[in-house]
């Protein structure tokens, strides 16, 4: 995706969320805040972007998003389970209506045979309007090709696409 495509997607997300009176929280590991940055690059984003959690370390995932250490030990930080817990944690630790999480291996190191460079898990959740409880909307697993920068940019593009779809 090009910068213009990121910008266009971000603008559409912000408009759709503003129309619904929704706030967004991001919970990012391998992207290090790139998703929140793409959204906040747009003027007026403060009406929609509530907060972004950059939880690069396992300890940060536990402290900031309430991801159980046992879950990280059992499934690994790069897993569907942890991505889901991160999205739920972003909602539980903010007044946001919609949360997106990413956790992955951008490389060049950190990979294993079971978890290669480019593996990224996404979690998308929203707050239930009647019960005020988080609802899991979607999880995705991708293995992106390329170097660290390419993996992170592809992750950003997919994250924005997921948010756009969820925002309506």
* The pLDDT of residue 1: 83
Taking only the tens place, the pLDDT of each residue in 132-157 is 889 999 999 999 999 999 999 999 99
With a pLDDT cut of 90, the percent of the chain lying above it is 93
* The pLDDT of residue 8: 96
134-143 and 119-127 as β-strands: parallel, antiparallel, unpaired?
A: antiparallel
pLDDT band at 2 (very low <50, low <70, confident <90, very high): confident
* The pLDDT of residue 78: 98
Taking only the tens place, the pLDDT of each residue in 56-82 is 999 999 999 999 999 999 999 999 999
The DSSP secondary structure of 8-71, one letter per residue, reads HHHHHHHHHHHHHT--EEEEESTTTTHHHHHHHTSTTGGGTEEEEEE--SHHHHHHHH---HHH
Nearest to 67 by CA among 36, 33, 77, 111: 77
* The pLDDT of residue 41: 97
Neighbours of 143 (CB within 10 A): 13
Per-residue b/e over 86-97, b at no fewer than 16 CB within 10 Å?
bbbbbbbbbebb
Is the predicted pLDDT of residue 130 greater than 80, yes or no? no
At residue 139, the 3 state secondary structure works out as strand
Average confidence score pLDDT of the chain: 96
pLDDT band at 129 (very low <50, low <70, confident <90, very high): confident
Is the predicted pLDDT of residue 3 greater than 90, yes or no? no
* The pLDDT of residue 30: 98
* The pLDDT of residue 128: 87
What is the distance between the alpha carbons of residues 106 and 122, in angstroms, rounded to a whole number?
Answer: 14
* The pLDDT of residue 131: 81
119-127 and 98-104 as β-strands: parallel, antiparallel, unpaired?
A: antiparallel
What is the distance between the alpha carbons of residues 42 and 32, in angstroms, rounded to a whole number?
Answer: 18
Q: How do the domains of the chain map onto residue ranges?
A: 3-167
Provide CATH code, domain 3-167. Answer: 3.90.950.20
Taking only the tens place, the pLDDT of each residue in 89-102 is 999 999 999 999 99
């Amino acid at each position: 995706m090009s910068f213009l495509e990121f910008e266009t997607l971000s603008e559409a997300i912000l408009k759709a969320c503003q129309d619904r009176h929704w706030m967004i929280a991001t919970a990012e590991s391998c992207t290090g805040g790139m998703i929140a940055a793409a959204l906040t690059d747009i003027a007026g984003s403060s009406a929609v972007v509530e907060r972004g959690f950059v939880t690069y370390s396992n300890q940060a995932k536990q402290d900031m998003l309430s991801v159980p250490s046992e879950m990280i030990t059992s499934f690994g930080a790069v897993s569907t389970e942890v991505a889901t817990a991160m999205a739920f944690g972003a909602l539980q630790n903010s007044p946001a209506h919609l949360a997106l999480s990413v956790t992955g291996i951008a490389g060049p190191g950190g990979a294993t045979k079971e978890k290669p460079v480019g593996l990224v898990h996404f979690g998308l959740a929203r707050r239930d309007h009647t019960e005020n409880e988080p609802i899991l909307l979607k999880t995705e697993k991708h293995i992106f090709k390329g170097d660290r920068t390419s993996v992170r940019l592809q992750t950003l593009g997919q994250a924005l696409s997921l948010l756009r779809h969820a925002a309506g």
